[in-house]
Amino acid sequence: MGILYMIGTPIGNLSDITIRALDILKSVQLIACEDTRVTRKLLNHYDIPIKTISCNSHNWTSRINKLSEELDSGDIAYVTDAGMPSISDPGWEITSALRDLGHTIEVIPGVSSVTTALTISGFDASKFSFLGFLPRKENESMDLLSEHCQLGNPVVFFESPYRLSKTLTRIETRFAEARITICRELTKYYEEIFNGTVQEAVNHFSDPKGEIVIILHPQEETLDSKLDERTLEALHAEIARMKLEGIKSKEAISEISQKLKIRRNTIYQEWINS
């Protein structure tokens, strides 16, 4: 019975692949991949003529029996378009299903955009949260970020270039003082690493392109703390007045923060709960 090898592949630069990974890709009888067109570019670069088959989050259930049959007679490999399988990518379903069928699984480590971004961020990455892609709804995404930011560790997530501007604007409302690292097109020719505040990031990115990894690290002073009763009453009065006047949340929160010297994150929480 063969072995299923879960193999890490480059996230941009095709040279970022291990010798062991190439040796196994050359030796297996079949390579299952997230997208055969993407994987073929890598295989052609290294003159690997092995047959491929698509296997992704949309069709993996119909491929399991085929992969199991192949494993009965030899080794096969599984790769995603970039990075490590299962890390916000297909792979975990295949691993789980084939293990349940009694097959042996081995991992061939490779590059990860998550750890690459953390390494260059300059943040202490001994502990961190990884959220994949944030929910599309604003309240859900910002509540999720708040939950993990309260731990005081870097929070890593992916974002589409088409949603980056909107996401940064949302983050600015709650975490204007936070430090942020934005990595675009990691290891590629047009790689860009941005380090600064969320406010600076909003002004910096207008029409970004490519794969994006974001690391948010709120400063200690941005974490929630309890307000005294008098300040809380003043805050509620300002919120009520501005809502009555129809002032938009971003403008209102900024004005209240300057007037009452309260953190925007705290004001935002009271705004959505009032």
Backbone angles phi, psi at 211, to 5 degrees: -75, 135
Specify the DSSP class assigned to residue 227. Answer: P
CA-CA-CA-CA torsion for 128, 133, 135, 140, nearest 10 degrees?
10
Name the nearest CA neighbour of 158 among 93, 265, 224, 82: 82
Task: Reply yes or no on whether the pLDDT at 248 is more than 50.
Answer: yes
Task: Reply yes or no on whether the pLDDT at 263 is more than 80.
Answer: no
With tokens 């501007």, the residue in question is: 165
Q: Express as a percent the part of the chain with pLDDT over 70.
A: 96
Query: Tell me, what amino acid is at 104?
Result: T
Render pLDDT for 154-169 as a digit per residue (tens, 0 to 9). Answer: 999 999 999 999 999 9
To the question of domain 3-111 being in CATH 3.40.50.300, the answer is: no
Does 3-111 match 114-222 in CATH topology?
no
Model pLDDT, residue 86: 94
Backbone angles phi, psi at 193, to 5 degrees: -120, 120
**pLDDT band, residue 147 (cuts 50/70/90):** confident
Render pLDDT for 111-123 as a digit per residue (tens, 0 to 9). Answer: 999 999 999 999 9
Please, what sign has the CA dihedral across residues 21, 22, 27, 30? positive
Question: First vs last Cα of the chain: how many Å apart?
Answer: 62
Task: Reply yes or no on whether the pLDDT at 223 is more than 60.
Answer: no
Please, what sign has the CA dihedral across residues 34, 38, 40, 43? negative
Task: Reply yes or no on whether the pLDDT at 83 is more than 80.
Answer: yes
Considering just the CA atoms, what is the radius of gyration of the chain in Å? 23
The reported pTM is 0.78
Render pLDDT for 172-219 as a digit per residue (tens, 0 to 9). Answer: 888 877 899 999 999 999 999 999 999 899 999 988 999 999 999 976
Q: Which of 8-12, 92-96, 149-153 has the lowest mean pLDDT?
A: 149-153
**pLDDT band, residue 54 (cuts 50/70/90):** very high
Structure tokens at 205: 């990115």
**pLDDT band, residue 258 (cuts 50/70/90):** confident
Strands (E), the chain: 3-7, 30-33, 52-54, 76-79, 104-108, 129-133, 155-159, 179-184, 192-197, 212-217
Model pLDDT, residue 221: 46
Q: How far apart are CA 136 and CA 139, in angstroms?
A: 9
Task: Give mean pLDDT, residues 262-269.
Answer: 77
Q: How far apart are CA 61 and CA 65, in angstroms?
A: 8
Domain boundaries 114-222, CATH class: alpha beta
What ranges do the domains of the chain cover?
A: 3-111, 114-222, 229-273
